[in-house]
A and B are shown apart, each in its own frame.
Chain A
Amino acid sequence: MNKYYPAALAILIILLAAFPAIGPEVYYLSFMFSVFMYVILASSWNFIGGYAGYLSFGHAAFFGIGAFATAKMATVFQLPPLLTMLASIPAGGIAALIALIVGYPCLKIRGPYFSVVTLCFAFVVDLAVKNIEYLGGAEGLWMKFMDLPEKTARTIMYEAMLLLMVITLAASWFLGRSRFGTGLTAIRSDEEVAETMAVPTAMLKIKAFVLSAFFPGVAGGLFAYYLGYIHADAVFSINISILIVLMAMFGGGGTWLGPIIGAVILTVVNEGLSTFAQAEIARIIYGGLFIVVTIFMPNGIIDFFRKRGG
């Protein structure tokens, strides 16, 4: 690893933080907001899906749980704007707790059950939220927005999401280099062998899953507040779950940089598609892309180009 790398990262973060100061259009702030959000989602998915190799196909559920928990707390406790943003942290905790409940039984066993359970779980949560009147039901929940000019409010949200992204990426960085990360990588490689090498596989998988649900939960809270109105379709969509997997795998699962690159590229693609194409067409394109990535670059685009480069 190059010794200038940390310095370059620090400069990049400062530049990103200073970006609103040059007075960009609100559109660009919103766009960067969603780039940060997807980097958070893909990088946290990577804890369980990338390092441990346990593909969660329902990660949007945690994002949505965070969103709804925040919205509910904001309305029930009549929280002022700043506290609403902070409420996304306990909301992330709720997402993590639910991950523990869901993950505990299916991560104690090995194999593909986990992917199936997470996929079904996302559908169950979606249906439940739509049918529970307390959580807004079919109508959704409204939140009180900041009493500030739009640009100022957007800037605050931008900085909050940037901060969360930096924290998530720092966690991801340390995880990749820690004993915990080494254990997860061993699990992905051969779980039975990992066990015989004293790696407590079940425990590590559950921890990784809980951690991978926390950050999306917080991001969901910020997103809900950003929208000001939250509806199940906006956060529980299967498209989001698949997009998260696709971003991480496309960039390169099990690496620090992979999900970041994947999330940046595919958010741009997603933005283009949602402007110029219908949702159904977008879904077909994602499906196709997923197949291409799995077949031609199973280890992601970073690995693909690294090998090409010799």
Chain B
Amino acid sequence: MDSTENVILSGKKITKRFGGLTALSEVDFDVRRGEIVGLIGPNGSGKTTLFNVISGIYDPENGDLFFGNRKITSMSPHKRACLGIGRTFQIVRPLAGLNLIENVATGVLYGREKKTGAREARERALEILSFTGLSDRASKLPGELILEDRKRLEIARALALHPELLLLDEVFAGLNKTEIGAAIDLTFRIREEYGTTIFMIEHVMKAIMSTCSRIIVLNFGIKLTEGSPDEVANHPEVISAYLGGAYAKC
């Protein structure tokens, strides 16, 4: 087990309710610096809710959240982003009226690097766009992009903050085989170049198995298990959660 200094993000007994529905129930988790951690679970298991709690869009009813040594449980989203938590959205949400450079430059201007000059911010934005393979479309509007490129823009927007921790919410969904290969490659490159820790929600098994060193499984808002990809894939309760009890026995 790594020492606690290496933990970049940890949640203690996170509980989030929507009216009578408990979306997250006492979820404990840790993400260590430099890891690529997967978050999986059937539809409605609370994955995106957990990301919303981490990025500050939702306040949890109970539990605490730490980023490094700092308690961030009730910190506003923009402060968390400033500290270095970047995120993408499952359904892509670019800043629609702004072109790609402006989209990314916004994050550069307000994020961890705090560039104040417009020209500097544009240059940095262009670097990030070329890193994510979008430099030739830099002055287009997000609406003119195909899905794969919009997903890349989501990542570029998050990288603009120069995040220490990047939350990727299903960036592989809807991509074809070649595109998934490229996205897996991009995921590794982000960790290498930016030194960013990655926490990702994913359904595409190929992507999970080849990128994550550890996987956390949620089901009905409860943490079912966690472990290496192989351990998780063969865990009876995981199989049961995804496919129903009958398959779990073998």
Residues of chain A touching chain B, judged by Cβ–Cβ distance below 8 Å, are 177-179, 182-183, 185-186, 188-190, 192-201, 254
Contacts and interface: CB of A to CB of B under 8 A. Distances in A.
A196 B80 CA distance: 8
A196 B81 contact: yes
Contacts of B55: 196
Interface stretch (B35-43, B89-97, B236-244): B89-97
Contacts of B160: 197
A198 B78 contact: yes
Interface of A is mostly: helix
Interface stretch (B110-118, B132-140, B172-180): B110-118
Contacts of B110: 179, 183, 197-200
B168 to A, nearest CB: 13
Contacts of B97: 185, 188-189, 254
Contacts of B93: 190, 192-193
| B78, B109, B112 — most chain A CB neighbours (10 Å) | B78
B215 interface: no
Given A189-B95, A196-B57, A183 B77 contact: no
4 closest A-B pairs (Cβ-Cβ)?
Answer: A198-B81, A189-B95, A195-B77, A198-B110
A295 to B, nearest CB: 19
Contacts of B96: 189-190
| A177, A182, A192, A196 — most chain B CB neighbours (10 Å) | A196
Given A196-B55, A200-B78, A201-B78, A189 B109 contact: no
Given A194-B78, A195-B81, 12 more contacts: A183-B109, A186-B98, A192-B93, A194-B95, A195-B56, A195-B77, A196-B55, A196-B56, A197-B107, A199-B110, A200-B78, A201-B78
A177 B105 CA distance: 12
Nearest to B102: A182
18 contacts: A179-B116, A179-B118, A182-B118, A188-B97, A189-B95, A189-B96, A189-B97, A190-B96, A192-B93, A193-B93, A194-B95, A195-B76, A196-B56, A197-B107, A198-B78, A198-B79, A198-B82, A199-B110
B197 interface: no
Interface in B68-106: 76-79, 81-82, 86-87, 89, 93-98, 102, 105-106
Interface residues of B, number: 32
B110 to A, nearest CB: 4
B150 interface: no
Contacts of A186: 95, 98, 106
B98 A195 contact: no
A110 to B, nearest CB: 12
B48 to A, nearest CB: 13
B161 interface: yes
A183 B82 CA distance: 14
Interface of B: 55-57, 76-79, 81-82, 86-87, 89, 93-98, 102, 105-107, 109-112, 116, 118, 121, 157, 160-161
Contacts of B157: 193, 197
B159 to A, nearest CB: 11
B78 A195 contact: yes
B92 to A, nearest CB: 10
A182 B109 contact: yes
Contacts of A182: 102, 105-106, 109, 118
Given A185-B98, A190-B95, A198 B161 contact: yes
Nearest to B110: A198
B77 A196 contact: yes
A198 B107 contact: yes
A34 to B, nearest CB: 32
Contact of A198 (B89, B105, B111): B111
Contact of A193 (B76, B95, B109, B116): B95
Contacts of A254: 97
B179 to A, nearest CB: 23
Contacts of B107: 197-198
Contacts of B78: 194-201
B85 to A, nearest CB: 8
